[in-house]
Amino acid sequence: MGMGAAAALLPPAEQWSTLEDQRGGECPLLSSAWSLPGPPGEGIGNAKHGALRRAASRAWGALAAGAAEMSALALSDRRKPVFAAKVALAIALMSLLAFVREPRDFVSHSVWALLTAVVVFEFSIGATLSRGFNRGLGTLTAGGLALAIAESAKNLGEMEEVIIVVSTFTVGFCTTLAKQHPKMKPYEYGFRVFLLTFGYVMVSGYSTGKFTDTAVNRFVFIALGAAVSLGINIGIYPIWAGEDLHNLVAKNFAGVANSLEGCVDEYLKCMEYERISSRILLYQPSDDPLYSGYRAAVEASAQEQTLLDDAIWEPPHGPYKMMSYPWKSFTKVGGALRHCSFTAMALHGCILSEIQAPPESRKVFSSEIHKVGRECAKVLRELGNNVKTMTKLSSSDILFEVHLAAEELQKKIDERSYLLVNTEAWHTSKRAEGIKDAMNATLITGRENKNEALEPTIADQTLAYHYKTFAASSFRSRYDSSSTIDGYKKLPHWPARTTFHPNLPLEDMESKTYQSASALSLATFSSLLIEFVARLQNVVYAFEELSDKANFKEPVEEPVAVSKGDGGFVAKMCKLVGLRS
């Protein structure tokens, strides 16, 4: 009989001591993993208690996380908690109407004032004015139309119900069809209020027989709610859509400039991504600074249009003191900048691409490429600062240095164009033979004059770079494999690599194909940079139009430093004879 069976025959108290002896005291019996048997049902109660404790802990963790997130939201933009407080104040004031008792028929419609305060109160003053106007106009026109139809239906006797139903269908159909017209998009909310008011007046008025009272009371309380909302929004920490539009356009200049300058610098440093995030490939938000700068400018189109629709409702205020302020010109500047940001996106795509130009070829054009990128970024930052400060250009030819740098780059491309193509395909041309001889002229002279080891030509270095990087480069290894890419099937590579093996040399055809594409990638980057210069002219034109229409202030000329020297020989002589103190 085993020790376990023998222990089972012992009294309960001795059974526990026997078990402790068998465990050797290595682990205490009453630990967190062990528990003494209790009365029936005690285990179930403990399990329920533990489940409740875990649920409470999870709920408390969720509340703490939510509070932290809301706190971060409030700290990111202090206008948001202020806006929330203003809305709460408007609702609280409208709720006071519930305590008014007389006249009961009039006060019974007071709920419309509270509902108006909820739906009309928007973040900016322009949006509040727009929604208030739409709601007021929709209520007034719908109430008038409903009263006219109701009074006409009363005179028809038994046909009153039919007239109400047919008119409701007809008005609903025409209104819904009209609001779908593109030109009616700014008044879409007004059409909804129109339908709601018309239906409410017709149904409620028919039930009570008081069409006029229903329409008038609804309009009065809607006007009261809109007036209180607008007064609070303007009187307490006003938030203007026009100011937000102004700041948004000015901020995007710096983002595009940083992306452009970063793309140029990283390309000349021959930066290569070990992993390319699939978020970039699917145009989703990413932490890459080269990506986030131009992406913000590209995505600002819808936000600029929304702010424009609200800003045109706002009265003159602050630095925008003109009637009919040219807010649309701000969106034109943003559109021209967006046109440039597409080129910055293409430049970033050159860095993300698998086929890359060798460092030796990039060094030949590095100074010219760097100068173009630096000058373009400088102009963008200057324009952004002028938009922010509402100042006209200090120079009539702000693009002079940019055009000069672009011309130098184009000349360098013309002089060294043989580095941008595969010249081996030109063997049938005598001109190609001359270019090939020019490439190796230094080496030929060296072979004739010296019998020492010669440095490889750029063409030789390029070919070696292709052999080195082509084997190491892999589309599947460079791109983020966290999602295959995010569920999309990976297509075969280009160029075709059916005969490629890491331990074997590349076939001549594959090497030449990759070499040609690699040489062209440098030409692509250079041409895109010159294209950016050409598009930058449109941004300057749009800014000049904005500065003229908005009456931007003239630039303040910096005072010329006055020399504190002695003024030379003539000044010394005058001082000696007493003509100058």
* Rounded CA separation 550/242 (Å): 13
Domain ranges of the chain: 71-235, 241-422+516-550
pLDDT at 335: 93
How many angstroms separate the Cα of 445 from the Cα of each of 166, 176, 360?
99, 84, 21
Q: Which CATH architecture has domain 241-422+516-550?
A: Up-down Bundle (1.20)
Which run of H or E residues covers position 577?
A: helix 568-577
* Rounded CA separation 97/33 (Å): 63
Comparing CA positions, the residue from 313, 304, 90 lying closest to residue 187 is 313
pLDDT at 569: 46
In a 13 Å sphere around the CA of 402, the CA atoms on its Cβ side amount to 22
pLDDT at 252: 93
Comparing CA positions, the residue from 538, 529, 544, 556 lying closest to residue 375 is 529
pLDDT at 517: 73
* Rounded CA separation 318/316 (Å): 7
User: If you search the block for the tokens 């983002």, which residue do you land on?
Assistant: 255
Per-residue model confidence as pLDDT tens for the chain (581 residues)? 444 444 444 444 444 444 444 444 444 444 444 444 555 555 566 666 777 877 888 888 888 888 887 777 777 778 888 989 999 999 999 888 878 777 766 667 778 888 888 888 888 899 898 888 888 888 888 888 888 888 787 777 778 788 888 888 999 999 999 989 888 888 888 899 899 888 888 887 666 667 777 778 878 888 888 889 889 988 898 889 999 999 999 999 999 999 999 899 888 887 666 566 666 666 666 667 778 888 889 888 889 999 999 999 988 888 888 888 999 999 999 999 999 999 999 998 888 877 788 888 888 888 999 999 999 999 999 999 999 999 998 877 889 999 999 999 999 888 887 777 766 655 444 444 544 554 555 444 444 444 444 445 554 554 444 444 434 444 334 444 443 434 433 434 444 433 333 444 544 555 566 667 777 888 888 899 999 999 999 999 999 999 999 988 888 765 544 444 444 444 545 554 454 44
pLDDT at 423: 61
pLDDT at 199: 86
| CA dihedral for 81, 87, 92, 95, sign (positive or negative) | negative
Is 65 exposed, middle or buried, given 0-12, 13-18 or 19+ CB atoms closer than 10 A? exposed
- Secondary structure of 363-417 as H, E, C letters: HHHHHHHHHHHHHHHHHHHHHHHHHHHCECCCCCCCCHHHHHHHHHHHHHHHHCH
How many angstroms separate the Cα of 83 from the Cα of each of 75, 134, 230, 246?
13, 21, 12, 20
* Rounded CA separation 394/521 (Å): 38
* Rounded CA separation 271/267 (Å): 6
